[in-house]
Amino acid sequence: MPIKRTALITGASAGIGKTFAAYLAKEGYQLVLVARRMDRLNDLKHALELQYQTRVEVISADLSDPLTPAHILEEIEHRGMSIDFLVNNAGYSKNQPFAEAAWIEHANEIQVMITAVTELAYRVLPNMKARSWGRIINLSSLAAFAPPTTSMLYTGIKSYVLNFSQALDMELKPHGIHVTALCPGFTFTEFHDVMGTRAQANKLPNVLWMQSEEVVKAGFDAVMKGKPVCIPGLVNKTIASGSKILPEALRYRLGRDSHLFD
Ligand SMILES: NC(=O)c1ccc[n+]([C@@H]2O[C@H](COP(=O)([O-])OP(=O)(O)OC[C@H]3O[C@@H](n4cnc5c(N)ncnc54)[C@H](OP(=O)(O)O)[C@@H]3O)[C@@H](O)[C@H]2O)c1
C-alpha cells in the first residue's frame, strides 16, 4: 500500500478549513487538524475517519500564542508524522476603529494571520525540501486586491499573505514545492458571524457569494498546477482586475467611502 501524504490544516473547526479537511481526506491525504474548539475537531475527525478510512489527528491550539507554531510541529513529529501539504487557513477580522481597540487585539490578529502563517510555512519546509515535494496554500482574500478600507488591519494582513506567498513560490518551485495565495471573496462560512457583521453581509447580492466547496476546489487545483495566486470565481476575478486598474486616488476614495460594514 502506498504511503499516504499528510496535510496540516489550521482553522479546521469551521468554514473553509473544515471544507479543506473533507476535500483532502477524499483526495487520499492523512490529516492533522488544528483549531481551538476541540469538540468540533473531534466530531470532524470521527466523521472523516469513518468516511475515508484515513488517519486524522487533532491538535487543540490557539494561534495567537507565539509558541503555538513550534508546538504544533513538535506534536506532529511526536505522533510520527511529517507534513507534505500545509493549509494556512485560520483567520478572522475585527470590525472596529484601529485606535479604539486594545493593542492585544491587533497583536493577536497579526500573530494568527501573519506570524503564525509565516512560521508554520518555515517549519514545514525542511521535510518538503528533503522529499522534493510540497504544497502550501495560504488564505489571503479578495481584500488584498480591493481598495484599503477604513479601520481594517485585515486588508493589510491579507496583502502581506498574497505577497509572501508569491515570493515563497518563486524560491521553492525549483525544489518541487508549490505555494498558492488563495484569495476568496465573500464565502458562506462563520466568518461574518465572528466579525459581528452578519446582518450587513446578508444584504449583499447573491452574485457576490460563493460556497466554501467551490473555493476549496479552486485552491486545490491551483496549487497542484503551480499557480501562485488563485482568485476563485468569475465575479471575484473581475473585481480584482477592475480594482488593479483604478487610479490610486480613486481607490483611496472608494475604500474610504465604501462603508461596507458600517
Ligand atoms: N468567509 C469569507 O468571506 C472569507 C473571504 C476571504 C478570506 N477568508 C479567509 O478564509 C480563512 C477561513 O475563514 P472562514 O471564512 O472559514 O471563517 P470561519 O468559518 O470563521 O473559520 C475560521 C477558523 O479559524 C479558526 N481560528 C480563528 N482564530 C483562531 C486562533 N486564534 N487559533 C486557532 N484557530 C483559530 C477557527 O477555529 P476556532 O474558533 O475553533 O479556533 C475556525 O476554524 C480566513 O483566513 C479568512 O480570512 C474568508
pLDDT tens, position by position, 14-73: 999 999 999 999 999 999 999 999 999 999 999 999 999 999 999 999 999 999 999 999
Residue 174 lies in a domain: yes
Ligand 1 atom with the smallest distance to the CA of 139 is 45
pLDDT of residue 148: 84
pLDDT in tens, 227-236: 999 999 999 9
Query: Ligand 1 pocket: which residues have CB below 6 Å?
Result: 11-17, 35-37, 62-64, 89-92, 112, 139, 141, 184, 186-187, 189-191, 194
How many domains are contained in the chain?
1
Residue 185 lies in a domain: yes
Ligand 1 atom with the smallest distance to the CA of 19 is 16
Residue 1 lies in a domain: no
Residue 183 lies in a domain: yes
CA angle 104, 109, 114 (to 5 degrees): 130
pLDDT at 1 over 70: no
pLDDT of residue 40: 98
- Give residue 214's domain range: 6-258
CATH number of the domain encompassing residue 140: 3.40.50.720
d(CA 221, ligand 1 centre) in Å: 21
pLDDT of residue 14: 98
Residue 225 lies in a domain: yes
Residue 16 lies in a domain: yes
pLDDT at 87 over 70: yes
> What value does the mean pLDDT of the chain take?
95
What residue owns the CA closest to ligand 1's atom 23?
11
Residues 6+ away with beta carbon under 8 Å from 33: 9, 12, 13, 17, 21, 41, 44, 45, 56, 57, 58, 59
Residue 18 lies in a domain: yes
